[in-house]
Chain A
């Protein structure tokens, strides 16, 4: 048996698309502070504020490259940044997966954007590499790629015509555009010779490749059915028109309506291939109506799943927890496989046809299966008797004995755990809604049998596993949660904010990230605990507390979020000093109730229990003032500090309860 413990080490370098990075960001919150101070001379004091950007992040690497490049390769870009105030440098705060990643000119070209006009009163920009996009609501939204080489951007003002081609109305921006969250704008950093430039911090690197892949998938989707117009295509158009006129009451009715229509066509003798084209066409045309309502229950289930997955990531879920043992040197290879397969899942939202979505699931399976088969083959040829090979074979089959028949292939014993791991590592948005979309709109005879149907079942099973599994069953320890909470307490969440209002914005944005993130994690962890109660000592107490913490974060999260946007609007320069005046009302004693009644299902008994807990635990609950608040309007700036302090206090209580 081999340990899997090198994974943790690996994880720190590989966090660029994992949700819980906020912890790491907080942990390294001082890094840019240190770096900028060091680099700038003492008279440039404006740069000393805190942005959670690790020194090994893409952004810092790019900035260092621009600062230090000696051979003049990047001089033109540096000049551009220093001389033209319509050029802005975007710095991603995420970290590359390989520590030795090289930042090339191409990368920098992707991240220098030029505004449409000097006054910046348009939000449209184009990168030196030709990515067109716009800034909207704290996001950079990629719109497309300019088809020609635009070397002129370097030397002269971009011609208006460059932008004219995408002067679009904002409503035409669909949810599938590649988006990049902006964490802070108007950040001043020294570039060379103490000259300051304005940079913008974004969450992850902008990539021309990603944008062009998105364009490709979109082009595939829009494929018209009119290439061979026939009776079917006019019927399909008629169906769409009718559908829009009288919308089905609910999504089940929508599913029946579309499937009935396709069944009728089939009964008229339309070939399967043609039916698939029509299915795809209608899915594309009516996508927004057919996909789950973003405010509905299903969207909430999506979010719940995402937060559970975020919690699993925080707890460093590994393949070992899922029943697959790997050697340290195999882990990296497996991570690559998982990443590649996960990128397929992340594309689901950009693919609109039910059949095409289903194909994406099959492709995810194929990537995993082929990679593992190759992997095994190579190992086999090396040395069949080597312990390494035996161990790999062992992992491949989870066979208890070393002898194996030569008829090995990737089976469900390895495939399912790797699939689950892939879902956890990629945490695709709206995953459940996408699976349901396939179930609802893929022609039923295609779903009742066949390989694709098996793949869909695997995905549904994986989701079901992730929704219902518990920490103890997986061998994950709650201790890790506590240590993270301690980290949170130990780290200053927000550095004292300086006079400049822009900086304040940056800081508040960070805080909202923190709250967002920890909300998600608490939510996820809370859900785990719900199922763990029978196994944990003092379980009642813990769960009760977690439930209450969840309530607080539930309540606080939207308030703080909206409150922040209000704060931004206010031109006040009040410094929200967050010297945490924690009134650390430590849990004086936790009364553990020994008369534990074993409830068959905790979910049913949950409400009763929570009430019981209130009597058995002698600690102060969350500040009732905030729980009673109906809207953000009631929240004042000062409350943010109090909320934060109470939040920390509650975190400490959870910790105490767990150790008691």
Chain B
């Protein structure tokens, strides 16, 4: 766990690594951009666009949570690289597009993979984005909600365009984080595994990218 607890003047700040997963068309980064732009402070911490963003939110008077948001490339051919990104992640937002049924299937595949391979304590949220496009809805709220309940995920239907449920999503994640546990384990050296590259994993996964084919 890479979470850090820092003793600030008015309380504690917890830092979490959040990884963004989902197909490339679903508006992953728009969602985060909306979240970050609506909270003006600390926006400029990133110099590399929406690929990496940091955002702090206050849970209560004594607790601040800082999300470090790692974007991943959503194209199928880069799927095998995802483990390098969700390694040491404390939470994940898996995004799909409510107008595309197939994007929910992809999201489910991500959730499966995270539950199988990521940190066992990872908090996963499912976000059905583009809920402003009600007329073109292809995935019913009920369907997704049932799946999320079954898989133990946080679930929101969001709109990056209208900002619907965006703050709520990130607030819910922050609340779900096991803050007390993290406070104790905050100052461990996180060196294990740094020297080993993800090469072994990638070799196993190379078959995936072969079967995935090229979309263009």
Contacts and interface: CB of A to CB of B under 8 A. Distances in A.
A139 B20 CA distance: 48
A576 to B, nearest CB: 44
B11 interface: no
A475 B216 contact: yes
A312 B211 CA distance: 20
B191 interface: yes
Contact of B191 (A259, A323, A407): A259
Contacts of A218: none
Given A473-B214, A603-B203, A407 B34 contact: yes
A410 B28 CA distance: 12
Interface string B40-51: 000001111111
Contact of B2 (A407, A410, A449): A449
Interface string B173-213: 00000000000000001110011011100111111011011
Given A320-B216, A412-B72, A445-B190, A439 B195 contact: yes
Given A407-B37, A416-B73, A399 B25 contact: yes
A465 interface: yes
A13 B16 CA distance: 48
A470 B46 contact: no
Contacts of A447: 194
Interface stretch (A225-233, A346-354, A455-463): A455-463
Interface string A306-332: 000000000000001111010000000
B68 A449 contact: yes
A412 B197 contact: no
A527 to B, nearest CB: 11
Contacts of B33: 407-409
Nearest to A420: B78
Interface stretch (A61-69, A99-107, A362-370): A362-370
A458 B81 CA distance: 9
A405 B161 contact: yes
B141 interface: no
Contact of B75 (A413, A440, A535, A603): A413
A369 B194 contact: no
A615 to B, nearest CB: 27
Nearest to B75: A323
A444 B191 contact: yes
Contact of A263 (B85, B189, B199): B189
B195 A255 contact: yes
A457 B27 contact: no
A398 interface: yes
A440 B194 CA distance: 7
The A contact surface, by secondary structure, is helix
Given A405-B30, A412-B73, A531-B210, A464 B198 contact: yes
Contact of B28 (A401, A411, A417, A473): A411
Given A444-B190, A444-B191, A475-B216, A411 B75 contact: no
B42 to A, nearest CB: 12
Contacts of A468: 80, 202-203, 205-206, 209
B160 A405 contact: yes
Given A448-B190, A460-B84, A415 B213 contact: no
B30 A369 contact: no
Contacts, number: 182
Nearest to A256: B191
Contacts of A323: 24, 73, 75, 77-78, 215-216
A491 to B, nearest CB: 32
Interface in A281-305: none
Nearest to A461: B81
B29 interface: yes
B199 A467 contact: yes
B48 A455 contact: yes
Contacts of A450: 68
B31 to A, nearest CB: 9
Contacts of A365: 47-48, 51
Contact of B47 (A362, A408, A531): A362
Nearest to B159: A405
Contacts of A467: 199, 202
B2 A448 contact: yes
Contacts of A400: 25
Contacts of A413: 24, 29, 73-75
A454 interface: yes
B195 A472 contact: no
A534 B77 contact: no
B88 interface: yes
A1 B15 CA distance: 41
B17 interface: yes
A474 interface: yes
Contacts of B191: 256, 259, 444
A121 B214 CA distance: 59
B110 interface: no
Interface in B56-80: 68, 70-75, 77-78, 80
B84 to A, nearest CB: 5
A315 to B, nearest CB: 14
A612 B160 CA distance: 57
B203 A409 contact: no
A237 interface: no
Contacts of B70: 454, 457
Lowest 8 CB-CB distances: which A-B pairs, in order?
A410-B49, A411-B29, A409-B50, A412-B71, A416-B73, A468-B206, A461-B81, A407-B33
22 contacts: A323-B215, A365-B47, A398-B24, A398-B75, A399-B24, A405-B30, A407-B30, A410-B49, A410-B50, A411-B49, A412-B29, A439-B194, A444-B190, A447-B194, A449-B2, A451-B45, A451-B46, A451-B47, A454-B70, A470-B210, A473-B214, A535-B210
Given A412-B29, A474-B214, 20 more contacts: A323-B77, A323-B216, A401-B25, A407-B30, A407-B37, A409-B50, A412-B73, A412-B74, A413-B24, A448-B88, A451-B48, A464-B84, A464-B198, A470-B209, A470-B210, A472-B210, A475-B214, A532-B210, A534-B210, A603-B203
Interface of B: 2, 4, 15, 17, 20, 24-25, 27-30, 33-34, 37, 45-52, 54, 68, 70-75, 77-78, 80-81, 84-85, 88, 160-161, 189-191, 194-195, 197-199, 202-207, 209-210, 212-216
